[in-house]
Structure formats: C-alpha cells, structure tokens
Structure 1
Amino acid sequence: MTAAEFVTAIREITPDESRFTKMPEGFAQIYLDELFIGNKSIHTNVEPENAIIDLMSNYDVSKLTIMIFSFNRSDELKETEPYTFFGRREAFPLAIH
C-alpha cells in the first residue's frame, strides 16, 4: 500500500461530524482529530518502497492515532543507523530498518 492509498483509505472511513449528534459535546472533535491527516504544501519525492517515509514527508499524520499506534511529527522523524523512528505504540517507539 502506498502512502497516498493509506491516506485515501483513512479519509474514506472517517465519519462525518454530523454522525455524532447523540454523543456528548466535544466527543466528535476528539474522535475526528485522531483520524486527521493533513496535506503538506510542499511535496517531497520518496522512493515507492519507503511508504512510511513518504507518508511522514508528504502528509501531516502527527494527530493520527490508530488504536494504540501514533505517528511523530515529520520533524521528529529520527534516524539512528540503521533505524528510522517514526511513531509510538503507547510508550514504545516504532522504527523501520
């Protein structure tokens, strides 16, 4: 799956705020904020096999939380040879080799 396909899939399953009318005030915004993926104004070309780097470089996923997984801001993308740390699983860092 490419970064663009991932973003499209998340956006397609994100409900409209109007579906939360019976929920307590503020709940919809909290829930929807965790599914937010923003576009960045500048596009960076990334090799297709680096989908995570593409996602972090070209989209704002700093608020995106999927169950217990969350992403860093792109300026927090940390490379420590041979790993690139891109997010967290609760308190534990996520990295790719």
Structure 2
Amino acid sequence: MAVMKDETFGPVIPVMKVSGDDEAVRLMNDSTFGLTASVWSKDVAAAEKLVERVEAGTVFVNRSDFPSPDLAWTGWKNSGRGVTLSRFGFEQFVKLKSHHIKDYPK
C-alpha cells in the first residue's frame, strides 16, 4: 500500500495487522523514507525495544504527533535534511566562533 511506504502528510494513521515484532519492524523499515513512525503497545518497555530497530528519525510510542521542544525532530533516509526543534535544530542556524585571548599584565 502506498500509504504505508510514501511520506503521507495530513491527519492519516495507516494501521496494519502483523504477526509479530519482527514483521512489524520489517514492514516499517520497507520504505525509502524515515521521517516519523509510531509504535502502539500495552507493554511500553517492549515498545521501546522495538523503537530501537525502526529506521525513522522520530518515533512515538502510544501517540502519533506530539512534538516536544526538548527533542530533535529529524528524518532518516530520504526524509528531509537537517534537524528542527531542540538545541540541535537551533545550532544549525548558528555559526560558532571561538576567541582565544591572552592578556599580558601591564
């Protein structure tokens, strides 16, 4: 299904029944995109382990869209370039410069 493999923007959450975690991860990663994904489970600890295997820059557990200003929002694969939100996003717009000065006593 295209809705499962393409980047879909809008109020859409595709749902697919799978036989287990391995199939879920395989299907989630079977895309050239990796912007955002969500994992839904009653067992949050198991969901967190699964999240580590998902090839997406932002992965939600038991929610689908809740950007936090403390967390980076980034895409993997062909999903965008760079980072928004958080200090990581801010630092992309800042050019750092260091000044090393030694002042001699008069």
Same fold (TM over 0.5): no
Higher helix content, 1 or 2: 1
Task: Normalising by structure 1, report the TM-score.
Answer: 0.22
Task: Normalising by structure 2, report the TM-score.
Answer: 0.21
Higher strand content, 1 or 2: 1
